[in-house]
Amino acid sequence: MTTFLRDTATVFTREFTPSLRNPTTLVFEMLQPLLFLFLFGSLLKGATDTSWQWFVPGILVMMCLTGPMGSGYNLLTEAIGGSLERLMVSPLNRTAMLVGRTLKEMAVLFLQAVLIILLALPLGFELHLAGVILGLALLIVLGVGLGSLSFVLALKSAPDGTMFYLVTQWALFPLLLLSGVLLPVDSGPAWLRIVGYVNPVKYLVDAQRSLFSGQLGDISVLYGAAAAGLVALIGLYAGTRAMRKGI
C-alpha cells in the first residue's frame, strides 16, 4: 500500500511538473471552462429558467469527461515516443501508473472548480460546501475510471493512434448531450430519455446537481456514486489487465 501511494505520488509529480515549468498552459486550461461558463451560461439563462446552480455542476462534469480523455492522449504520445515502454520496465505499481496520471487531471479540475465557483458566487450561485466537496470527490472517482479507460483505448490504438481520436470524438458528444450537462434531457422525447438511462454520466450529472444544491440525502446521489464507482472499477480492471498483457 505504501508503495502504491509512493508510486502514485511519483507519477502525479512527473505529470504535473511540465505545468509548473510552463504555467501558461495551466492558465489556458483554466480559461477554457470559464469561457464556456460565461458564453454558454449567459445564453442558456436567457433561454430557459435554469440557474447557475444547475449549470455549474454540469460544467464540472463536462470537464471531468474531457480532462481524463486528455490524459489518454498524453499516454498515447508517450506510447508512440517510447517513454511509456521505459516506465513499464520500471517497478512502478501498474495501478499507480493509471491513478497518478488521472489525478493530475483531477488536480487541474479541482483548481478549475474553485475558480468557477468563486466567479459564479457574485452571479447568484449558492455555495453548499459539504455538497460541493462530496461532488468533487465523486468526480475524482469517475475521472480515475474514465482516465483508465482512455489509457486502454490509447494502448489499443498505438502505434498510429487513429482509433483513439475516432472513438473519443465519437463518444464524447453523445455522452455529453444525453447526460443533460448542457440541455435538460427530461424535456426531450421519450426515446432520448430512455437512452439517457444507460448513460452513467447522466447519473453523475443528477447527483452533482443535488449535491451542489445541498440535497445530500437525495437518492440521485446514491445512483451517481454507484455509477462513478462502477466506471472506476471497470476502468481500473481493464487498465491493469491491458498493461499486464504487454505493450
**Of these, 6, 31, 48, 174, which contacts another protein (CB under 8 A)?**
6
For residue 138, give the C-alpha cell: 465523486
Q: Do 59 and 33 touch, CB atoms closer than 8 A?
A: yes
| 91 near another protein, judged by CB under 8 A | yes
**Of these, 81, 124, 174, 184, which contacts another protein (CB under 8 A)?**
81
Query: Nearest approach, Cβ of 63 to another protein (angstroms)?
Result: 21
**Of these, 1, 35, 89, 194, which contacts another protein (CB under 8 A)?**
89
Within 218-247, the residues that bind another protein by CB under 8 A are: 244-247
Neighbours of 75 (CB within 10 A): 26
Separation between Cα atoms, residue 185 and residue 209, nearest integer Å: 14
| 88 near another protein, judged by CB under 8 A | yes
| 14 near another protein, judged by CB under 8 A | yes
**Of these, 4, 34, 78, 172, which contacts another protein (CB under 8 A)?**
78
**Of these, 47, 90, 191, 198, which contacts another protein (CB under 8 A)?**
90
Separation between Cα atoms, residue 204 and residue 44, nearest integer Å: 21
Query: What are the C-alpha distances in Å from 53 to residues 45, 117, 132?
Result: 11, 10, 11
Query: Nearest approach, Cβ of 13 to another protein (angstroms)?
Result: 7
Considering the complex, state which of residue 93 and residue 220 has its C-beta at the smaller distance from another protein: 93
Q: Using the structure block, give the residue that is written with the C-alpha cell 435554469.
A: 50
Query: What are the C-alpha distances in Å from 114 to residues 50, 107, 179, 203, 247?
Result: 21, 11, 23, 22, 38
Burial of 51 (0-12, 13-18, 19+ CB in 10 A): middle
In the chain, the amino acid numbered 67 is G
Using the contact rule CB under 8 A, the part of the chain among 52-60, 90-98, 145-153, 191-199 near another protein is 90-98
| 77 near another protein, judged by CB under 8 A | yes
Q: Which residues would be at the binding site for another protein (CB under 8 A)?
A: 3, 6-7, 10, 13-14, 17-18, 21, 74, 77-78, 81-83, 85-92, 244-247
